[in-house]
Amino acid sequence: MLEFISRVTGKTIKDTEVEYLSSHSNSKTNKNILCIQTSCNNISDFQIFLGDLHNNTNNEQIILLNFETLKGRIRRIEKESGKTIAKLRVSFDFLFLRVLPRLFLFQFLMNKLTRKRLIVLSKAEGLGRMVYAGFEIIEICSIGPKLFVLIKKSKSEKKHIKPSYGPIFKMERIGKNGKLFGVYKLRTMHPYAEFLHEYILKINGYSDSGKPDKDFRVTNWGKYIRRYWIDELPQLFNVLKGEMKLVGIRPVSKVYFNELDENIKTKRIKFKPGCIPPYIALNYSTNKDDVIAAEIEYMRMKEEKPYTTDIKLFFKTIFNIIFKKRRSA
């Protein structure tokens, strides 16, 4: 792995410059490179481990971690036992290692049996946990079923945002008058994936649909329910709370909002966000420029006819979904 570190840092790294640890201790080291040899899957209380690691390292140190990803685990089992056994193991893993540990009645028992280890750990959850603990991801490298990750201390921690595990979670979005609020959605991503938003945009940017490109945070079944907007249904609770309405501009993240032109940002915060975005009602494409253009057109229409625009676009949306087969990107 020294070649990986040397390639990323642009420096020739010698073995003597690296501190090799089976798992991190509370003692500090002066070496600039720490290599945690134990797989993250086998570390008890991984999040506490990351917190200790954060407290006992400095901003100059680079840390190498590794873990077997969910997809890597499936490929390994398929290679060892065949696809049929792999499918059975995946079903077992999902129920006993992902669902039951989240339930209060089974949590104590499952923690005892697994010794609080994250035996099944998706790429998104593993990286998300690191960002949540206050680390910045420098580079990743897949070797076989394992993902090797170079991290360092970040200037900004995410611990002010509580991670979610349940089927319904909140995403921080910008509302009317620039006020931040939590948009309710059905979970379509792996746990802790919400902390990787900036990282995904940094490495992949946006797709033609205006969403993060090559977004590995989304689960396979999550892609399906997104296509039919099923994940948006909990936003009706935001409507009841008065934070959103049925038709309106999309509630966007701070990262997305800050990339918009100043005149659009100034105008945008005058309007309450909606569950149904204008690009569907106005039948625009899903690429980023068209989505923004549709919102500009909506704001113009809303200013001219504030009372009838939303009603008109609501029925246009129904028509486009039923007769023109509009689907989410």
Predicted confidence pLDDT, tens digits, the chain (329 residues): 778 888 888 888 888 788 888 876 666 777 889 999 999 999 999 999 999 999 889 888 999 999 999 999 999 999 998 988 888 888 888 788 777 777 767 777 777 778 888 889 999 999 999 999 999 999 999 999 999 999 999 866 566 677 877 788 888 899 999 999 999 999 999 989 989 988 998 899 888 777 888 999 998 888 889 888 899 999 999 999 999 999 999 999 998 999 999 999 999 999 999 999 999 999 998 888 999 999 999 999 999 999 999 999 999 999 988 888 787 76
Question: CA–CA distance from 31 to each of 14, 134, 213 (Å)?
Answer: 12, 20, 37
Calculate the CA 205 to chain-centre distance: 14
Handedness of CA 124, 126, 130, 136 (dihedral sign): negative
CATH class given for the domain over 2-69+121-153: alpha beta
Residue 42's region, left for phi above 0, alpha for psi from -120 to 50, else beta, is alpha
pLDDT for the residue numbered 96: 80
Start and end residues for every CATH 3.40.50.150 domain found in the chain: 2-69+121-153
pLDDT of residue 326: 81
Is residue 106 within 8 Å of residue 99, measured between CB atoms? no
CA–centroid distance for 52 within its chain: 23
Residue 159 is predicted with a pLDDT of: 61
Neighbouring residues of 213: CB distance < 8 A, sequence distance ≥ 6: 200, 204, 205, 206, 207
Looking at residue 160, its pLDDT comes to: 62
Strands (E), the chain: 18-21, 33-36, 62-68, 135-143, 146-153, 168-174, 180-186, 245-247, 274-276
Cα gap 67→126, rounded to integer Å: 8
State CA 74 to chain mean position distance.
21
Specify whether the CB–CB gap between 33 and 17 falls below 8 A: yes
Q: Is residue 252 classed as helix, strand or coil in its secondary structure? A: strand
In this prediction, residue 213 carries a pLDDT of 87
Whether 35 and 19 have beta carbons less than 8 Å apart is answered as yes
